[in-house]
Structure formats: C-alpha cells, structure tokens
C-alpha cells in the first residue's frame, strides 16, 4: 500500500482490543494510508488523518487485502465511527470543501501516550493479508506485552481471551488464532514442562504444568536499495 517503510502505530487500548465489533485489521489498514499531523490539522496529537479522496482511491485495495465485501467494509467502518476510533470533519480551503477522517492511534495517560505498539509497514501488510481480526489482535497483544520482557513473554489462553473480549471457554478459538500466527511464521511458541504434584485421595500424583512462551519472529531485513 506504499513504497516507503515506516513504523506504523497500532492502538492496543482496551476499547479496541476487547470490543468484538472493532476490527483492528481495518484500523491498521486505515492508519497505514494515513498521514502524520505536521500542520495542526488534528486537534489531538494522538491522531493521524486521511483525506476522503485518498481513502476513496485506496478503498478497493483495503477491501482486497482484508477480504471484505462492500457491505462488510461499510459495517466495520461504521463500527469505528460509532466507537469514536475514527471521526470526520469538513474542511474548507480555497473555496473547496474536503472531508477529512481522523484516526485515534494512542491513548493519553497523564502527559504520556501509551497503549499502542508499532509494526513496520511492509510486515504489517503481510500480516493483514494472512490473519483474521482475532489473530491480529493477539499478535499486537504479544508485541505490546513482550516489549518490556526482552521479547519473550509467558501468557495463558485465559489472558488472551480476556484481552480480545472472548470468554474463558474460547480455548479452541484462541488456539486456532495462535496456530495461524505460528504457521505463517509471525510468532514462535516454546513450551516448558514444569513438574508438579497434587494430592488425590491421600496420594500424591503427577500433575505437570505446561507453560507457553511467545515471541515474535522478526523477518529478514529487505534490501530496498
């Protein structure tokens, strides 16, 4: 969707991650074609913007990458507007009225901006093509959590389910999403068997605990020279 490679900010705050109506892949695709505010167009420094004409040009490409029909695109785009992830204003310049969309990329906490991660634009395009919304949210959750953990983090299925707004009974769904990421070489999963025993009817029996560690697979640096 673009020739230059840049770090794309992807929001990871709860409003987006745990809301099943919010498709983070669509959010990411819109941010991917957006522009950084350098001229005071945005009211908030955590926003990026898109001109409606630019969005119209890229619309079919976004639908193709995400595998959306026109009706699905409209429904999911409306969900972003209803949740105030995207807002629009009309701007008039030199007698011409432009429709501009603003995208919230970060969450302000005090004077800092938090709850977002970044993904290189070329990798992001590949991930958007090969994942669904559940898998992409899980990928972003792992990336956000692993930032402060030397790149490796131990997480449970329950944690994943809670983070993306699923019930604790969604183990198969989470496992499928993780397998999708693993099969496409976006993440690595390592299991550790921890010996553990529990008492049953006065007897100690083996009850090993399986702990899983997740890390991102960083693709080889491409030569664009």
Q: Are 197 and 207 in contact (CB under 8 A)?
A: yes
- Distance separating alpha carbons of residues 10 and 29, to the nearest angstrom: 10
CA distance readout (Å), 51 to 27, 44, 78, 102: 15, 17, 17, 9
pLDDT in tens, 157-169: 999 999 999 999 9
Instruction: Compute the mean pLDDT over every residue in the chain, rounded to the nearest whole number.
Output: 87
Does residue 41 have a pLDDT over 80? Answer: no
Residue pointed to by tokens 């009706």: 71
Give the model's pLDDT for residue 225. 33
DSSP SS3 for 121:
helix
Confidence of residue 3 (pLDDT cuts 50, 70, 90): low
Percent of the chain whose pLDDT exceeds 70: 86
For the chain, which domains are there? Answer: 1-130 (no CATH), 132-225 (1.10.10)
Mean of the pLDDT values across residues 35-47?
Answer: 62
- Distance separating alpha carbons of residues 206 and 170, to the nearest angstrom: 27
Confidence of residue 16 (pLDDT cuts 50, 70, 90): very high
Mean of the pLDDT values across residues 147-174?
Answer: 92
Give the model's pLDDT for residue 39. 52
CA atoms within 13 Å, Cβ hemisphere of 9: 19
**Residue 130 vs residue 37, higher pLDDT:** 130
- Nearby residues of 156 by Cβ (< 8 Å), 6 or more positions away: 212
- Distance separating alpha carbons of residues 39 and 67, to the nearest angstrom: 34
pTM of the model: 0.88
The alpha carbons of the chain give a radius of gyration, in whole angstroms, of 20
Does residue 50 have a pLDDT over 90? Answer: yes
Give the model's pLDDT for residue 223. 39
Confidence of residue 151 (pLDDT cuts 50, 70, 90): confident
Mean of the pLDDT values across residues 174-199?
Answer: 91
Give the DSSP per-residue string, 2-35.
-SS--EEEEE--HHHHT-TT--HHHHHHHHHT-E
Confidence of residue 140 (pLDDT cuts 50, 70, 90): very high
Percent of the chain whose pLDDT exceeds 90: 64
Beta carbons within 10 angstroms of residue 29's beta carbon: 23
pLDDT in tens, 75-133: 999 999 999 999 988 887 667 778 999 998 887 665 555 789 999 999 999 999 999 99
- Distance separating alpha carbons of residues 47 and 102, to the nearest angstrom: 6
Beta carbons within 10 angstroms of residue 191's beta carbon: 8
CA dihedral 18, 21, 25, 28 (to 10 degrees): -80
Mean of the pLDDT values across residues 139-147?
Answer: 92
CA nearest neighbour of 68 among 120, 30, 101, 11? 30
DSSP SS3 for 72:
helix
Beta carbons within 10 angstroms of residue 116's beta carbon: 19
């Amino acid at each position: 969707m673009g020739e230059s490679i840049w770090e794309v900010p992807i929001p990871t705050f709860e409003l987006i991650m745990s809301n099943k109506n919010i498709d983070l892949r669509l959010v990411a695709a819109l941010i991917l074609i957006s522009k950084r505010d350098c001229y005071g167009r945005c009211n908030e420094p955590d926003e990026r913007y898109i001109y409606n004409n630019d969005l119209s040009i890229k619309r079919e490409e976004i639908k193709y990458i995400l595998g959306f029909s026109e009706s699905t695109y409209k429904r999911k785009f409306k969900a972003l507007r209803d949740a105030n992830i995207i807002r629009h204003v009309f701007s008039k310049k030199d007698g011409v009225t432009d429709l501009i969309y603003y995208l919230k990329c970060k969450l302000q906490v005090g004077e800092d901006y938090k709850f977002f991660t970044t993904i290189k634009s070329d990798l992001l395009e590949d991930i958007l093509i090969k994942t669904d919304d559940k898998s992409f949210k899980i990928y972003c959750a792992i990336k956000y959590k692993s930032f402060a953990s030397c790149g490796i983090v131990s997480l449970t299925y329950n944690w994943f389910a809670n983070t993306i707004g699923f019930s604790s009974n969604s183990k198969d769904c989470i496992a499928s999403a993780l397998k999708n990421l693993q099969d496409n070489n976006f993440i690595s999963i390592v299991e550790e068997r921890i010996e553990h025993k529990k008492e049953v009817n006065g007897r100690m029996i083996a009850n090993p605990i399986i702990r899983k560690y997740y890390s991102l697979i960083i693709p080889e640096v491409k030569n664009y020279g």
